[in-house]
Amino acid sequence: MSRLTESPAWKLLQDTARSAASLVLKDLFAATPDRAEALTVSAAGLVLDYSKQRVDAVVVERLIALAAQQQLPRWIERMFSGERINASEQRAVLHVALRAPRDTQILVDGNDVMPQVHAVLDRMTAFADAVRSGGWTGETGSRITDIVNIGIGGSDLGPRMVCEALAASHAGPRLHFVANVDAAQISATLRSLKPSSTLFIVASKTFTTQETMANARAARHWLVSHLGEAAVAQHFVAVSTNLAEVRKFGIAAANMFEFWDWVGGRYSLWSAVGLPIMLAYGPATFRELLAGAHAMDQHFRSAPLAQNLPVLMGLLSVWNSNFLGSESQVIAAYAQRLERFVGWVQQLEMESNGKSVDREGLPVDYRTTPAHWGDVGTNAQHAFFQMLHQGSAMHAVDFILPLAAEHDYPEQQRMLIANCLAQSAALMRGKTADEVRTELQAKGFEGEALASAIAPRVFGGNRPSNTILLARLDARHLGALLAAYEHRTFVASVIWNINAFDQWGVELGKQLAQSVLRAIDAREAAGFDGSTRALLARIPH
Ligand code: F6P
């Protein structure tokens, strides 16, 4: 038994959850007319309505007590002040520094990181302005019309998601993203491009990631075969922490945009990894994104726990998963442009909190992160919402809804909003057998036909959800939304006493891929397990 599950705050919540049958949302709303107002917080332009969570004042108080017991305020402060809280890699965790204003001071081992953060931002700005204005051209003097970002994981998901999310205001060059080692992607991308007007960004924190380096070599070979070796300088830039490897690849230091080991890959879109965002939308929009995130950072650092939006999101996810038995976390963004948000959240949350030993290296005896999944509304309603409403397990849902639309179809925006609100209401209230019976009787059902028609139409209800409102999906609100989720992940990790900032779980597969590749090349399968040997024997040569 680890200490967390034996702790007073955890045990108290367990007791509370045992009587959670009494937490019936419909009744709670009926008993407390101002419930929605009481259980809504706002920060940095975001509104979180958590009144459809199965909590009351006592539960919230006990969740806050759990946060206090786990020393959440101290951990927040440790992160913001540059302590090496990523213990297994001995690194500070300072994505918050990437969006802090120029005059801030953040020390790591006594050195202020802010001058270098802003020096890189300024270089990115100059470069983006030059590319966008045509001052930076390709080798033959052609204007850059297409940018290909080659990167994977955090070096792909964040910038790609943001670029799609901001699509309404796109004014820069066309963007392409290549991540997969499956060369179907790079070859299809290259086929659509002209070498003379294409710029490649090779984005890799380590600059050793197999997939990224393979795609970067393919792109380099394509460019050189059309324009010659000398063209690499005008057509390739790197985003990395590893200057030596960048140089080895043939990209000069002058064409590298640096970031640092205290930026986790999945927290890196705010760094030079965000260069595609700046190239597409311009430096001012990128700085708006940073400003929105910074506003959320300030709120997270200073607001009392009970009014702290990311803290509440983190605690509610723990409550649902560890105490109420929610099977997974569904993310339903009612915004087509947030189609890639789920992919970004999946890496953020599941690479951060998909752990089973605590900070002391002891196996945990409680669930850490549940699976995060989802899709955009309204599409999701016609795919998996059936299970959310009537399935045998409970799944907590985050509804995300930007209110103002940037298109010419206001009636469809009203439909989108109506659907979002209707889904969370339906999950909460459900539909009783009596309600179904009355409805069916009004339609003329009676006798056996009526009796057998009732059960499939009953909704249990009482299924918890958050609703997160944004005034609109612009850079500032998006920055705040992403920062809120980053901090939510950190909050849950503090409760679970795990390190959210390493990812050793992806290493074994990477190592084995190298040895399987050698086995394929050498046609020698000795040393592998029976299944891998048998599968290798079926690989055509
Ligand atoms: O998937 C593991 C991982 O290390 C992620 O954490 C990271 O975002 C991704 O690979 C890409 O790494 P890099 O930026 O070093 O190429």
Number of domains observed in the structure of the chain: 3
Spatial contact of 269 and 99, defined as CB atoms under 8 Å apart: no
CA angle 379, 314, 502 (to 5 degrees): 95
Contacts (Cβ under 8 Å, ≥6 apart) of 423: 332, 377, 381, 385, 397, 399
Q: Whose CA is nearest to atom 1 of ligand 1?
A: 153
Q: Please check whether residues 395 and 252 belong to one and the same domain.
A: no
pLDDT at 443: 97
Beta bridge partners of 451: none
Cα–Cα distance measured from residue 174 to residue 153, given in angstroms and rounded to the nearest whole number = 21
How far does CA 320 lie from the centroid of its chain? 19
Burial of 120-145, coded b for 16+ CB within 10 Å and e otherwise, reads bbebbbebbeebbeeebbbbeeeebe
User: What Å distances lie between residue 100 and 290, 469, 478, CA to CA?
Assistant: 8, 24, 16
Regarding the beta carbon of 381 and ligand 1, being less than 6 Å apart is answered: no
Q: How far apart are CA 211 and CA 151, in angstroms?
A: 8
Instruction: Give the residue among 336, 370, 334, 322 at the shortest CA–CA distance from 489.
Output: 370
Radius of gyration, CA atoms only, the chain: 25
Token look-up 């998901």 returns 157
- Most ligand 1 atoms within 8 A of CB, residue of 88, 241, 506 to mutate: 506
- Residue nearest atom 16 of ligand 1, based on CA coordinates: 204
Q: Which of 287, 311, 341 is the last residue of a domain?
A: 287
Residue type, 324: L
- Write the CA distances from 398 to 172, 185, 337, 441, integer angstroms: 32, 32, 17, 35
Does one domain contain both 116 and 60?
no
Domain match, 216 and 264 both: yes
Whether 254 and 310 map to the same domain: the answer is no
In terms of DSSP bridges, do strands 256-258 and 236-240 run parallel, antiparallel, or are they unpaired?
parallel
Ligand 1 pocket test target in 150, 152, 511 with most atoms within 8 Å of CB: 152
Question: Contact at 8 Å (CB) between 75 and 93?
Answer: no
Q: Which residue has a Cα nearest atom 3 of ligand 1?
A: 153
CB 388 within 8 A of CB 331: no
Q: Are residues 46 and 129 in the same domain?
A: no
Q: What is the number of the ligand 1 atom nearest to the C-alpha of 203?
A: 14
Q: Omega of the bond prior to 378 within 30 degrees of 0, cis?
A: yes
pLDDT, tens digit, 9 for 90 and up, residues 396-430: 999 999 999 989 999 999 999 999 999 999 999 99
In this prediction, the residues of the chain whose per-residue pLDDT falls under 70 are 1-2, 168-170
Query: Which atom of ligand 1 lies nearest, measured to the CA of 151?
Result: 16
CA dist., res. 209 & res. 273, Å (int):
15
252 falls within a domain:
yes
Residue range 228-277, pLDDT digits in tens = 999 999 999 999 999 999 999 999 999 999 999 999 999 999 999 999 99
Q: What is the CATH number of the domain that holds 27?
A: 3.40.50.10490
The alpha carbon of 504 and the centre of ligand 1 are apart by a number of angstroms equal to 11
Residues 324 and 281 in one domain: no
How is the chain split among helix, strand and coil, in percent rounded to 5? 55, 15, 30
* Residues 201, 275 contacting (CB under 8 angstroms): yes
Domain extent, residue 385, equals: 8-69+303-429+463-502
Distance CA 251, CA 94 (A): 27
212 lines ligand 1 (CB under 6 A): yes
The verdict on 325 and 467 lying in the same domain is yes
Output the CA 470–ligand 1 centroid distance in Å. Answer: 30
458 occurs within a structural domain: no
Are 497 and 509 part of one and the same domain? no
pLDDT of residue 1: 45
Which of 229, 261, 287 is the C-terminal boundary of a domain? 287
Residue 178: strand pairing partners = 150
**313 in the same domain as 233:** no
